[in-house]
Structure formats: C-alpha cells, structure tokens
A = this chain, B = another copy of it.
Amino acid sequence: MAFDKLLKFFAPKDTIFQPLFVKVAENLTAISKLLILTISENDTEKRQVHIVAIKDLEHEGDRLTYELYKNLIDTFITPFDREDIHQLASTMDDVADYINKTAQRIELYKPKRMMPAYITIAGMILEASKHIELAIKELEQVKNPEIVNNACDAVREIESKTDKLYHESIIEIFRDEKDAVELIKNKEILEALEKTTDKTKNVSKVIKTVLVKMV
C-alpha cells in the first residue's frame, strides 16, 4: 500500500475538514446512544426527553454539515476530492436524519408495544456508528489503512444482518398483527430503522471510495 499517498489524505495542515468530520462522527455515536435510550424507555414522558435530545443533536449535525459545505466553498485546496468531501458530509448527515426520523415516528405514532427487533437494530446502528467514528479518526493518523477498511467492512456486515432481521420482523407483523393501525406504526418504525443502517452503509461506501483513490 502506498502509505506516502495516504499521508496526503488529511495533510498535517488540514485543520479544517478533519476536525469537523471527527465532530460529525462523534455526534453520530452520541445520537445512536440516545436512540437506544428512547426505545428502552417505556415511560412516554421520560422518553420524550431523549427524543428532544436526538432532535438537538440532529440540528448540531446540520450545523456541522453546513460548516463543512461552507469551508468547501471557501477553501481552494482540500485534503481530498471536493466531491468526496461533499458525499461524506452528506451521507453522514443522512444517518443522523434517519435516526431522528425513527425517533419522530416513535413520538408521533406512540406504538402500543415496542418490538424486540427495535432495540436489536438500534444496537446495531450504534455499533455501525462506532465503526464509522473509528474509520474517520484513523484517516487522521493514517498509520494503518487496514483498520479503515475493516471498519467499513464491519458496517456493511451490520447492515446485512439488520436487513435480515428487518425482513423477519416485517413478515412477523404482517402475519400476527391484526390491528391495521398498529401494523402501520410498527412497519414504518421498522422501515426507518432499516433505512438508518442503509445510510451507514452509504457512509462506508464513500470512505471506501476515498481509500481506493489513495492506494
């Protein structure tokens, strides 16, 4: 592997993009933890506190994404392809958006029961977020591209596992849930959860694209 090329990824002088991406990644991990708290909490009032916190972090993510775009316009030389910076910022933003969307649906629909699959998938989303955070931070040190690559593979694997669980859960509710309104609620919350993991996979794809260009 061409480590010398990798060293240029986040050049020592890049004090703009790398720290911002780290903040976005840490924000994703934090928001994923809040999603687990939201789903675990049965008391709707206490749950509401976590949902509001998710909304706040999602706004913080928007602010950081805007800052990344703004710097992209203002900065002549970027640490890597402008289009890739844009894609990375935009796909990471999508993850936060979908976690927020999931929380919103829980808030709005107030399902009678939280399906066990919810908490399992939320746990997988947290895992994926942690892998993304690791990959982004490793891109800073660029000592070991394999770590970045493995983290991306782990995200893909998590997405694939979630997909299976999502399928089983959808089959389950269409088979067992006789109340059409509850079925709609569970189906749409599951869809938001599954889309969130899709979005983490998109992030891993962009990071892989960046790696491919460098090695």
Contact = CB atoms under 8 A, between A and B. Distances in A.
Interface of A: 69-70, 73, 104, 108-110, 167, 170-171, 174, 180-181, 183-185, 187, 209, 212-213
Contacts of A171: 108, 110
A108 B180 contact: no
A213 B72 CA distance: 11
A166 to B, nearest CB: 9
B73 A213 contact: yes
16 contacts: A69-B209, A70-B212, A73-B209, A73-B212, A104-B167, A108-B167, A108-B170, A108-B174, A109-B174, A110-B174, A174-B181, A174-B185, A180-B180, A181-B183, A183-B184, A184-B187
Nearest 9 pairs between A and B by C-beta? A180-B180, A108-B170, A180-B181, A109-B174, A108-B171, A73-B213, A73-B212, A181-B183, A108-B167
Contacts of A180: 180-181, 184
A99 B79 CA distance: 39
A63 to B, nearest CB: 14
A213 to B, nearest CB: 6
A184 B70 CA distance: 40
A159 to B, nearest CB: 13
Nearest to A109: B174
A81 to B, nearest CB: 10
A163 B49 CA distance: 19
Contacts of A73: 209, 212-213
